[in-house]
Chains A and B, each alone.
Chain A
Amino acid sequence: MRKSLLLLALLLLAPGMLLFAEGAQEVAATEEYIELTKAFYYRDATEHLDRKDAFMEAFEEQFGVRLVVNTFPRDQFMEKLNLAITSRQLQGLVLPFSQGDMLRYREDGAILPLDGMLAGNRTWDQQPAELRDMYKFYGGTWGIATGQRTVSFARLARKDWLENLGMDYPETIDELYEMARAFTEDDPDGNGQDDTVGMVAAGTWNLQDIFYAFDAPLNGFGGDPITWDENEQAFVDSFLKPEAAEALAFIAELYQNGYLDQETFTNNSSAMREKLWSGKYGSTFYWMHWGRQEWTPTLEQRGLPGEHAILPWVTGNRTEHVYFAWGTTGGPWCMLANTDNAKAMVNTFVDTFLGDEMAYLWGAYGIRGQDWRLDSEGRILVRVEPTTGQANVIPGITAGRMIEWPPTKYPDFPDGTPEEINQLERQIGAEQAIIDRGLAEGTLWRSTPAKDTFVSTKYTEIIGDLRKIFEETVIKAVTGEMSPEAALDQYRSQVKALGAQQALQQCNDNYGSTLPAWSVY
């Protein structure tokens, strides 16, 4: 019996002892201590654990600032972050994916305005106004941007297939359709089998160029049609336009003829990438640099012939501002409201990462000498992962390029031979030139956080249901379950019932723009 009692006592005491042990590991808060929570810290949560720890230790040794970086898996990152914030598990600065999440945190009282805390901080005051005001909404600064570089999505397609078929790069929406058809039906890989598909996508995100070409633009990552319209200079719901029906009919034709992957609306981005790497899918609309960084190299690694091309943004009903480029900022760093030493921590963060150029580069690329090095020409050469052959395992606390720094000051490349680096430099230069040309010619327009943020409490309230309605509308029209016109009629009544009109009005009122007469439910 004594043995049983002892066993039982141990069973009951064990959880308490474990809790005590865990508590003992907590870090005492000091002024030179920063707690950060983000995804993509040396890739995903469970990857490169040794390098994660090594970075924090080396950073403290180098800059005298103790970093604690929490990282959740990128899959469902926001859900996990929300729960951790609500349950008070986290303190310090968090990096949500978008400024929309930041505004939701503001409405919920989960984050603090930074203006008061940063008053008198010389480093902050010396930052360009563009950076300081990037996340200024409702009269307060709610996040810190840590860099900016201009990026864009573009349609990527198999260059070798186009060459095999003797086709030019498509420039209009009709030519894009013809490319998708030929990629599917004309045996572009020449293997004599009917085993290729013209386009692949993971939902509407990767079909944005089509919506834009028809003049029914979607917002940011193609999540819904409530968006800033550069041509209207206003926030609109582009699904209230007749052009939206044309766009849906076009995609329906692609889908129903098999030129667009049948799993388009069930693919996630990993599945989409995997299909492109399989060598059997011809094009998608995605990050412009993805073709260079991953598509072509992975095909090569797998021994598959193939090379990507960056196509022009196609025109249709819309010939001006057919897509946009924007300055990626790495998201807004937001200060959690329950942080004990919030003022000290945010000032340490700003002084460290925005005040010390080398700390900024460490925050972006990792440990100097191990994760990256500077070459004689001032280029950052990022360590190539032996397992993947790619150079993208970095902490990403900062975004890699400050606004006031000229883009050529610290260009980054995967470490390699001088020839490889020079070739990459040319490719990156060519990609940048495509964006610059698009901006100069008016094909592209430059988006800003103010145009990409829906400052509306109503929008935040309805966004979940709004996106479901949008997604179902597109699917019903594309799969032929309903005609595009009927699907859009249903969309209009459902979204109206949610109160989307108020959301649109709030967005325009906040920005100072006027809602066009047609954008009424």
Chain B
Amino acid sequence: MSERAVASGAVKKRRRVLTRTNIVLYLMFLVPVIYYLVFHYLPMVGVVIAFADYRMSGFRSWVGFANFKFIFNLAFFWRSFWNTWFFVLLRYLFVFPAPIVLALLMNEIRIKWAKKTIQTVSTLPHFLTWVIVGGIWMSLLSPATGYVNELIKAFGGKPYFFMADAALFPYLFTFLRVWKEVGFGTIIFLAALAGINPELYESAVIDGANRWQQTIHVTLPSILQVILVVFVLSFTGVLNLFEPIYVLRNPHILSTAEVLDTYVYDMGIVQAKYSLATAIGLFKSTISLGMVLFANFLSRNFTETKRGIL
């Protein structure tokens, strides 16, 4: 029998979708499907209230794009919009590269216990919620009782209210994000580094490459695909800033700390203006979707197959 005939026969032979073995697997799969349907897809229908006058008593009338026109005329909306983008910029300038740099540095450590200690210590903050992280740092930085200010006073300085400095806040927040996530973020890059063929380094050494040149010409190109995947996937939640900002914001720093998520919360949950809040949320989600698609499109230029990674 020719190979072609075998292949043809295999195609014609219909595989049973439901068998005694896989039906359980399908049923188990049903649970997350139902979860996603109920909690993630069905609520999406609710975005229609962005085009309606929806009050606490329920639906009143369709208003077309009136809610969008209204929010686009609000100064606070635009302030939170640009603040959000500034946090995105800082994220890609500092938060995204930090785990790569740390992974590269840790990869150079030859003392095992030191490497493991650094990894454990830097990973631990990831497992704390932002509520805890916020509490810790607000206490540390408190002008009245914070250890940082106690230290400043001990050296003869004047206490400084760090959390009340609007200009400082974006950078302070970025520092906290790095502190919280850098260790956990290194895990995937350390795994990628472990997979690099040692022969590449041996060849580089024979060619006279020093450690820096090995990093630039061997290590980074070898983990580029992983960096790209993490980069593209990072766009999925890049505008989601509610929890940390909600925890850390205070009236002193609203001019730089207010972001779209907290503005939606104030408008929707606090003031019960559900239609306006949904319009802002829909606007933000549309931008997020656009960013993911754009990042995926860009990733085509960096993959061997010239296909997007999503």
Contacts and interface: CB of A to CB of B under 8 A. Distances in A.
Listed residue (B20, B30, B159, B252) with the most chain A CB atoms within 10 angstroms of its CB: B252
A86 interface: yes
B24 A12 contact: no
Contacts of A475: 251-252
Contacts of A337: 57
Contacts of B30: 12
Chain A, interface SS category = helix
A464 interface: yes
Interface stretch (A262-270, A341-349, A380-388, A410-418): A262-270
Given A5-B24, A5-B27, A79-B270, A265 B164 contact: yes
Interface size class of B (residues with CB under 8 A): 35 or more
B55 A8 contact: no
B56 A110 contact: yes
B131 interface: no
A8 B24 contact: yes
Contacts of A8: 24, 27-28, 31
Nearest to A266: B250
B55 A12 contact: no
B173 to A, nearest CB: 16
A108 B252 contact: no
Contact of B164 (A107, A108, A266): A266
Nearest to B57: A109
Interface in B17-42: 20, 24, 27-28, 30-31
Nearest to B274: A86
A83 B251 contact: no
Interface stretch (A56-64, A305-313, A465-473): A465-473
Contacts of A494: 75
A472 B270 contact: no
Contacts of B24: 1, 4-5, 8
B137 interface: no
Contacts of A497: 75
Interface string B60-104: 100000000000001110000000000000000000000000000
A328 B173 CA distance: 42
Interface residues of A, number: 37
A157 B27 CA distance: 68
Contact of B267 (A5, A338, A464): A464
Nearest to B149: A262
Given A4-B24, A108-B55, A265 B250 contact: yes
A434 interface: no
Contacts of A79: 269-270
A458 to B, nearest CB: 14
Interface string A481-498: 100000000000010010
A12 B31 CA distance: 8
Given A8-B24, A109-B55, A262 B143 contact: yes
Listed residue (B20, B55, B274) with the most chain A CB atoms within 10 angstroms of its CB: B55
B254 interface: yes
B251 A472 contact: yes
Contact of B272 (A4, A86, A203, A338): A86
Contacts of A1: 20, 24
A270 B24 CA distance: 54
Contacts of B55: 107-110
A497 B76 CA distance: 12
A265 B250 CA distance: 8
Contacts of A262: 143-144, 159, 161, 164
Given A4-B24, A11-B31, A464-B266, A85 B56 contact: yes
A379 interface: no
Contact of A78 (B20, B142, B163, B270): B270
Interface in A71-93: 78-79, 82-83, 85-86
A266 B251 contact: yes
Interface in B157-213: 159, 161, 163-164, 166
Nearest to A265: B251
B30 to A, nearest CB: 8
Interface in A173-220: 203
B56 A86 contact: yes
B8 interface: no
A358 to B, nearest CB: 36
B271 interface: yes
Contacts of B266: 464
Interface string A248-268: 000000000000011101100
A19 B271 CA distance: 30
A277 interface: no
A464 B270 contact: yes
A104 interface: yes
Contacts of A479: 164, 252
A264 to B, nearest CB: 10
Given A79-B269, A266-B163, A109 B56 contact: yes
A481 B165 CA distance: 10
Contacts of A78: 270
B5 to A, nearest CB: 36
Nearest to B143: A262
Interface string A310-337: 0000000000000000000000000001
A479 B159 CA distance: 14
Given A265-B251, A337-B57, A465-B76, A82 B269 contact: yes
A90 to B, nearest CB: 11
A463 to B, nearest CB: 8
Contacts of B142: 263
B255 interface: yes
A162 B28 CA distance: 72
Interface in B281-301: none
A105 interface: yes
A108 B272 contact: yes
B38 to A, nearest CB: 10
A79 B273 CA distance: 11
A468 B254 contact: yes
Contacts of B273: 464
A86 B273 CA distance: 11
B76 A263 contact: no
Interface string A1-25: 1001100100110000000000000
Contacts of A471: 251, 254
Nearest to B161: A262
Nearest to A83: B269
Contacts of B272: 82, 86, 104, 108
Contact of B255 (A5, A463, A465, A472): A472
A152 to B, nearest CB: 26
A14 to B, nearest CB: 11
Interface of B: 20, 24, 27-28, 30-31, 55-58, 60, 74-76, 142-144, 159, 161, 163-164, 166, 250-252, 254-255, 266-267, 269-274
3 residue pairs, one from A and one from B, having the closest CB atoms: A109-B57, A108-B55, A108-B56
Interface of A: 1, 4-5, 8, 11-12, 78-79, 82-83, 85-86, 104-105, 107-110, 203, 261-263, 265-266, 337-338, 463-465, 468, 471-472, 475, 479, 481, 494, 497
16 contacts: A1-B20, A4-B28, A5-B24, A8-B28, A78-B270, A86-B56, A107-B55, A110-B55, A110-B57, A261-B144, A262-B143, A266-B252, A338-B57, A463-B271, A464-B270, A464-B271
Given A82-B56, A266-B164, 11 more contacts: A83-B269, A86-B56, A108-B56, A109-B56, A109-B58, A110-B55, A262-B144, A265-B252, A266-B163, A472-B255, A494-B75
